[in-house]
Structure 1
Amino acid sequence: MTPISTCQPEHLHYLKMLARQYPNVQAASTEIINLQAILNLPKGTEHFISDVHGEYEAFLHLLNSASGVVREKVDDLFAATLSKHERDQLATLIYYPREKLEEVERETEDMREWYRITFHRLIEVCRLVSSKYTRSKVRKAMPPEYAYIIDEMLHTHYGDNDKRDYYEKIISTIIDIDRASNFLVQMCELIKRLAVDHLHLVGDIFDRGPRADIILDSLLEYHSVDIQWGNHDILWMGAASGSRTLVATVLANSLRYNNLEVIETGYGISLRPLSDFANEVYGGCDTHCFAVKLSGEDAGNFTERDKLLAARMYKAITIILFKLEGQKIRRNPAFGMDDRLLLDKIDYAHRCITLQGVTYPLEDTDFPTVDRTDPYALTPEENTLINQLTASFRHSEKLQRHVRFLYSKGSLYKVFNGNLLFHGCIPMTAEGEFMTFETREGPLSGKAFLDYADQTARRAYYSRPGSEEREFGMDFLWFLWAGRNSPIFGRERMTTFERRLILDESTWTEPKNPYYQFYNDPAVCDAMLRQFGLEGPHCHIINGHIPVKSKKGESPIKGGGKLLVIDGGFCKAYQKTTGIAGYTLIYNSACFRLVSHEPFAGRANAIRENQDIASTSVVFERLESRMKIAGTDVGRQLQEQIDDLMALLWAYRSGAIVEDHKE
Structure 2
Amino acid sequence: MDHQSERLKYLRLLAREYPNVRAASSEIIHLQAILSLPKGTEHFMSDLHGEAEAFVHILNNASGAVREKVDIVLRDSLPADECARMATLIYYPEEKLEELAEAAPNRAEWYRITLSRLIDICRLCASKYTRAKVRRALPRWNGDIINELLNKNNDIFNKRAYFDTVIASIVETDRAEDFIISMCNLIKRLVVDHLHIVGDIFDRGPRADIIMDMLMEHHSVDIQWGNHDVLWMGAATGSRTCIATVLSNSITYNNLEMIETGYGISLRPLSLFADEVYRNSDVTCFMPKAGTEGSDTPLDRTRAARMHKAIAIIQFKLEGQTIQRNPSFHMDDRLLLDKVDYEAGTVQLPSGVYPLRDCDFPTIDPADPYTLTPEETELMAQLKRSFLRSEKLQRHIRFLYSKGGLYKCFNGNLLFHGCVPMDENGEFLKFSFGGKELSGKALMDWCETVAREGYYARERTDERQFGKDFLWFLWCGRHSPSFGRDHIATFERRLVEDKSTWVEPKNAYYTYYNEDEVCVRILREFGLEGDHCHIVNGHVPVKTKDGESPLKAGGRLIVIDGGFSRAYQSTTGIAGYTLVYDSWGIHITAHEPFPGKRTAIEDNKDILSTSMAFDRSESRIRISETDNGKVLQQTINDLKDLLSAFRRGEIKEDNSDMD
Aligned-pair CA distance for 1:161: 3.4
Query: 1:77-96 alignment to 2 at 5 Å?
Result: 77-96=73-92
Whole-angstrom distance in 2 between the partners of 1:9 and 1:71: 55
Identify which of 124, 127, 130 aligns with 1:131.
127
Deviations 1:360-401 (A, max 9, x none): 111111111111111100111101101110111111000000
2:62–2:191: 8 Å Cα contact kept in structure 1?
A: yes
Identify which of 387, 401, 420 aligns with 1:393.
387
Question: SS in structure 2 opposite 1:145?
Answer: coil
Which residue in the other structure is 1:474 paired with?
Answer: 468
Aligned-pair CA distance for 1:301: 3.5
Whole-angstrom distance in 2 between the partners of 1:532 and 1:580: 32
Whole-angstrom distance in 1 between the partners of 2:136 and 2:301: 53
Which residue in the other structure is 1:161 paired with?
Answer: 157
**2:372 matches 1:378:** yes
**2:213 matches 1:217:** yes
Q: Which amino acid aligns with 1:104?
A: L
Q: 1:515 and 1:562, CA in 2 relative to 1: closer, same or farther beyond 3 A?
A: same
Whole-angstrom distance in 2 between the partners of 1:25 and 1:296: 68
Q: 1:6 and 1:452, CA in 2 relative to 1: closer, same or farther beyond 3 A?
A: closer
Aligned-pair CA distance for 1:147: 2.3
**2:488 matches 1:522:** no
2:101–2:110: 8 Å Cα contact kept in structure 1?
A: no
**2:189 matches 1:193:** yes
Identify which of 420, 445, 452 aligns with 1:451.
445
Aligned-pair CA distance for 1:163: 2.2
Identify which of 272, 275, 282 aligns with 2:271.
275
Q: Which structure 2 segments of 5+ residues have no match? A: none
Aligned-pair CA distance for 1:159: 4.3
**2:8 matches 1:26:** no
Q: Which amino acid aligns with 1:363?
A: R
**2:542 matches 1:566:** no
Question: SS in structure 1 opposite 2:206?
Answer: coil
Q: Which amino acid aligns with 1:259?
A: N
Query: 1:203-242 alignment to 2 at 5 Å?
Result: 203-242=199-238
Aligned-pair CA distance for 1:110: 1.7
**2:600 matches 1:606:** yes
Aligned-pair CA distance for 1:296: 4.4
Q: Which amino acid aligns with 2:275?
A: N
Aligned-pair CA distance for 1:143: 1.1
Which residue in the other structure is 1:108 paired with?
Answer: 104
2:50–2:203: 8 Å Cα contact kept in structure 1?
A: yes
**2:514 matches 1:512:** no
Deviations 1:453-499 (A, max 9, x none): 01000001101122111100011001000101011111011011111
Question: SS in structure 2 opposite 1:208?
Answer: coil
* Deviates most, 353-362 or 257-266: 353-362
Q: Which amino acid aligns with 1:71?
A: R
Deviations 1:113-134 (A, max 9, x none): 0011011100110110111111
**2:63 matches 1:67:** yes
Query: 1:541-580 alignment to 2 at 5 Å?
Result: 541-580=535-574
Q: Which amino acid aligns with 1:124?
A: D
Whole-angstrom distance in 1 between the partners of 2:465 and 2:71: 55
Q: Which structure 1 segments of 5+ residues have no match? A: none
Q: Which amino acid aligns with 1:28?
A: A
Aligned-pair CA distance for 1:15: 1.2
Question: SS in structure 2 opposite 1:447?
Answer: helix
2:101–2:111: 8 Å Cα contact kept in structure 1?
A: no
**2:362 matches 1:368:** yes
* Deviates most, 616-625 or 220-229: 616-625
Identify which of 617, 621, 629 aligns with 2:615.
621
Aligned-pair CA distance for 1:7: 5.0
Whole-angstrom distance in 1 between the partners of 2:163 and 2:297: 63
Whole-angstrom distance in 2 between the partners of 1:296 and 1:183: 38
Q: Which amino acid aligns with 1:264?
A: E
Aligned-pair CA distance for 1:552: 0.6
Aligned-pair CA distance for 1:441: 5.1
Aligned-pair CA distance for 1:162: 2.8
Which residue in the other structure is 1:430 paired with?
Answer: 424
Whole-angstrom distance in 1 between the partners of 2:53 and 2:298: 30
User: What percentage of aligned pairs have identical amino acids?
Assistant: 61
Q: Which amino acid aligns with 1:184?
A: I
Aligned-pair CA distance for 1:77: 1.3
Identify which of 408, 412, 422 aligns with 1:414.
408
Whole-angstrom distance in 1 between the partners of 2:334 and 2:311: 18
Aligned-pair CA distance for 1:440: 1.6
Whole-angstrom distance in 2 between the partners of 1:453 and 1:7: 35
Identify which of 328, 332, 351 aligns with 1:334.
328
**2:49 matches 1:53:** yes
Whole-angstrom distance in 2 between the partners of 1:304 and 1:58: 29
Task: Give TM-score scaled by structure 2 length.
Answer: 0.98
Whole-angstrom distance in 1 between the partners of 2:356 and 2:94: 56
Whole-angstrom distance in 2 between the partners of 1:227 and 1:448: 20
Q: Which amino acid aligns with 1:35?
A: L
Q: Which amino acid aligns with 1:528?
A: I
Whole-angstrom distance in 2 between the partners of 1:302 and 1:612: 30
Aligned-pair CA distance for 1:295: 3.3
* Deviates most, 437-446 or 400-409: 437-446
Aligned-pair CA distance for 1:357: 5.2
Aligned-pair CA distance for 1:268: 0.5
Q: Which amino acid aligns with 1:32?
A: I
RMSD: 1.2
**2:403 matches 1:405:** no
Identify which of 625, 631, 652 aligns with 1:631.
625
Question: SS in structure 2 opposite 1:144?
Answer: coil
Whole-angstrom distance in 2 between the partners of 1:102 and 1:33: 46
Deviations 1:295-348 (A, max 9, x none): 342xx3433322221111000000000000000101111100000000001111
Whole-angstrom distance in 2 between the partners of 1:30 and 1:105: 47
**2:254 matches 1:265:** no
Which residue in the other structure is 1:312 paired with?
Answer: 306
Whole-angstrom distance in 2 between the partners of 1:553 and 1:446: 31
Whole-angstrom distance in 1 between the partners of 2:357 and 2:588: 45
Question: SS in structure 2 opposite 1:140?
Answer: helix
Deviations 1:549-599 (A, max 9, x none): 011100000011100000010111111111111100000111111111101
Q: 1:661 and 1:395, CA in 2 relative to 1: closer, same or farther beyond 3 A?
A: same
Aligned-pair CA distance for 1:175: 1.1
Which residue in the other structure is 1:640 paired with?
Answer: 634
**2:283 matches 1:284:** no
Whole-angstrom distance in 1 between the partners of 2:19 and 2:506: 59
Question: SS in structure 1 opposite 2:343?
Answer: coil
Whole-angstrom distance in 2 between the partners of 1:152 and 1:115: 18
Which residue in the other structure is 1:534 paired with?
Answer: 528
2:42–2:580: 8 Å Cα contact kept in structure 1?
A: yes
Which residue in the other structure is 1:150 paired with?
Answer: 146
Identify which of 462, 476, 495 aligns with 2:456.
462
Aligned-pair CA distance for 1:146: 2.1
Question: SS in structure 2 opposite 1:421?
Answer: strand
Whole-angstrom distance in 1 between the partners of 2:150 and 2:347: 72
Q: Which amino acid aligns with 2:143?
A: A
Whole-angstrom distance in 2 between the partners of 1:519 and 1:96: 40
**2:489 matches 1:495:** yes
